[in-house]
Amino acid sequence: MKGVIFTEFLDMVEQAFSADMVDDLIEATSPASQGAYTAVGTYSHEEIVAMVVELSRRSATPVPDLLEAFGSHLFARFTVLYPGLMPAATTSLDFLASIEGVIHTEVLKLYPDAQLPRLTALRVDDSHLTLEYRSPRGMADLAVGLIKGCAHHFGEDLAITSTTADDGAVLFDIRRV
C-alpha cells in the first residue's frame, strides 16, 4: 500500500487525537517499517490495519467507524494532493462512475506499484448507481468513507446500502437523496 495512505492516516490521528497517540500506535504495533513512512514508499497494508485496530482499542471506537472517518478525510486530502487527477465531474455519481476508468487509472500511472481495488460502476439512472468493490485487502469501510467524502465534496446527500457476496465482493447501492 502506498505511503500516502499511511502519512495521511497518521496526520488524521494527530489532528483528531494527539501526537502521543501516533507514537503509541507505532510503539504498540511495532510495524516492520518502524513507522517511518514516506508518501511514495510502499508498505504492507497489514501495518495500517494493525494501527487502526489498536486505535479502535484505545479510543473505544469501532474499526468500521474509524475507517469510514478516515475515508472521508482522505477524499478531501486527495482533492488537495492530486488536483490534476480530479475529473471534471459535476456530481458525486458522475465522479463515482469515473473512479475505475479515470482516477485509479491515473493513480497507476503515478504509482505503478499501487494496489488498487476493482471498482465496477453501473449507472441505473440519473440519481442511482451501483458500485462493486473487490479487493484482497477488504477495505470496504474505507470505500464507504471515500464515497461519503465524495458526496460532501459535491454538497450532495447519498443513501448507501451494501451487500457482501460469498466471494467477498461488496456491492454498494448508492442513491442521491
In this chain, which of 17, 50, 54, 82 binds ligand HEM, going by CB under 6 A?
82
Q: Is 10 in the site for ligand HEM (CB under 6 A)?
A: no
Cell numbers found for residue 129: 448507481
Neighbours of 105 (CB within 10 A): 13
Strands 158-164 and 118-125: unpaired
- Minimum CB distance to ligand HEM, residue 16 (Å): 20
Q: Is 116 in the site for ligand HEM (CB under 6 A)?
A: yes
Q: What are phi and psi of 96, to 5 degrees?
A: -60, -35
Residue 135 Cβ, how far from ligand HEM at the closest point, in Å? 3
3-state secondary structure 157-171: CEEEEEEECCCCCEE
> Which range in 13-21, 59-67, 100-108, 121-129 contacts ligand HEM by CB under 6 A?
100-108
* Three-point CA angle 122, 127, 133, nearest 5°: 35
Q: Which residues bind ligand HEM (CB under 6 A)?
A: 1-2, 4-5, 75, 78, 82, 85, 96, 99, 103-104, 107, 114-117, 119, 135, 137, 139, 142-143, 146-147, 150
